[in-house]
Structure 1
Amino acid sequence: MLWIRHAPDRFQSEENVWKLCQDVSLRIPEELDRCFVVFISNPCRTVPLWKQRAGREEDRLVIWDYHVIFLYSWDCKTCLVYDLDSELPFPTFFHKYVTETFRTDQVLKSDFHRFFRVVPAKQFLQHFASDRRHMKRPDGSWIKPPPPYPAICTSVATNNLDEYINMDIGSGLGQVLSLTEFVQRFYKIEK
């Protein structure tokens, strides 16, 4: 099992996941190829997730514009989900997380169907950039205070967050999957 420390700051899910990837790459780099970053969104940017700490009702439902989680798939049958915004255990086995957080798309209007951009963690560390502009008000003030570390940028990009949130198949890094395809990829039932 991969033991990862919590990210130091609770700012944005994409930065928390980037920090988790960085932690793995520094402490146990041989495990990085088993790690994935998953952006969850849809064309309407309305994705319901249950069991989220920000949820107010008993079922802890939140409708995010996007959300980001970290997966560790250590063999063909076992996968762990690391979600710093979930009230589920950290980490949680994939099947439990999917069942309690996503439930099913079958009872939802199509505007709320979730799509998943799955990106290998190594690629995400190399290419992701966010100057945090989406966390500022129109007057330039912060919605929440930013973490003390600098914004995540690369030598070629200062902000490409929208490329990860975009769920157009065939665009951007990684692979865009439906909920059914996502479950089929990471949850294998023993026969």
Structure 2
Amino acid sequence: ISVDAQKMLSSNENNKKNDKTLRPLFPKQAAECSYVSCYCEENVWKLCQDASSRVPEEMDRCFVVFISNTCRTVPLWKQRAGREDDRLVIWDYHVIFLYSWDAKTCLVYDLDSELPFPTFFHKYVTETFRTDQVLKSDFHRFFRVVPAKQFLQHFASDRRHMKRPDGSWIKPPPPYPAISTSSSSHNLDEYINMDIGTGPGQVFTLTEFVKRFYKIDK
């Protein structure tokens, strides 16, 4: 966890009688969380499950964010899978967890990032997304923001996207059963799709996304 975030969380933990305190959603270090490489959507689902069981009263402030575009080419920096100094990776999609505590404070939890766990929103955006202005349109990032409670209740994946035509795994799957609901065994594509006005949650451009979760005092 970042030093600044740790100070804020520690300070607020000393005042547990105040219902409006920023609470540490995940006391674990990132390395202690459920994590399987290349299954970011399930890693985040597990974060939602953990938060829901530990601090259910905070779930209305939590969001899941899918990052992708029509071309399925989204550049993200500071990713652990990156090989160069800037740790740049071009994913087909990526998923992160947000804790939007109030209009001015938002924390980002990204288990694939080299940044602290969590990182304040503005720092994460600046170092991970940078800007779309210098990128070709095929690489512009779009963001599907879904309330965490909704995601936890409705998301499903049978992991078909991680299988080759012969049925073998591209990457080994998580050790627990595939996530399903009473109404669906697989709806991952609905979340990765960035068509505005369709699917769960709401789709934002990078500029809109920043304005949604980072308020600047005037």
- TM-score band, normalised by shorter chain: over 0.9
User: Once the 2 structures are TM-superposed, how far is the Cα of residue 38 of structure 1 from its aligned partner?
Assistant: 0.2
Could you tell me how far apart the structure 1 residues matched to 2:118 and 2:132 are? Answer: 24
**What is the root-mean-square deviation of aligned Cα atoms in Å?**
0.9
What is residue 155 of structure 1 aligned with on the other side? 182
AA of the residue aligned to 2:24:
L
**1:118 lines up with 2:145 in the alignment:** yes
1:6-38 superposed Cα distances (whole Å, 9 cap, x missing partner): 432324110000000000111110000000000
Describe the SS at the equivalent of 1:122.
Answer: helix
Could you tell me how far apart the structure 1 residues matched to 2:50 and 2:123 are? Answer: 25
Q: Is the 8 A contact 1:2 1:72 kept in 2?
A: no
User: Once the 2 structures are TM-superposed, how far is the Cα of residue 3 of structure 1 from its aligned partner?
Assistant: 3.0
Q: Is the 8 A contact 1:43 1:167 kept in 2?
A: yes
**1:145 lines up with 2:172 in the alignment:** yes
Q: Is the 8 A contact 1:82 1:91 kept in 2?
A: yes
Comparing 26-35 with 138-147, greater Cα deviation is found at: 138-147
Could you tell me how far apart the structure 1 residues matched to 2:24 and 2:210 are? Answer: 20
Q: Is the 8 A contact 1:127 1:154 kept in 2?
A: yes
Describe the SS at the equivalent of 1:158.
Answer: coil
AA of the residue aligned to 1:119:
V
Could you tell me how far apart the structure 2 residues matched to 1:65 and 1:118 are? Answer: 17
**1:106 lines up with 2:133 in the alignment:** yes
What is residue 40 of structure 1 aligned with on the other side? 67
Any stretches of 5+ residues in structure 2 without a counterpart? Answer: 1-22
What is residue 20 of structure 1 aligned with on the other side? 47
Aligned residues between the structures: 191
Describe the SS at the equivalent of 2:146.
Answer: strand
**1:132 lines up with 2:159 in the alignment:** yes
Describe the SS at the equivalent of 2:59.
Answer: helix
User: Once the 2 structures are TM-superposed, how far is the Cα of residue 146 of structure 1 from its aligned partner?
Assistant: 1.4
**TM-score, length-normalised on structure 2?**
0.86
User: Once the 2 structures are TM-superposed, how far is the Cα of residue 147 of structure 1 from its aligned partner?
Assistant: 1.5
Q: Which residue, out of 29, 35, 38, partners 1:9?
A: 35
What is residue 166 of structure 1 aligned with on the other side? 193
Moved over 6 A (4+): none
AA of the residue aligned to 2:47:
L
User: Once the 2 structures are TM-superposed, how far is the Cα of residue 170 of structure 1 from its aligned partner?
Assistant: 0.5
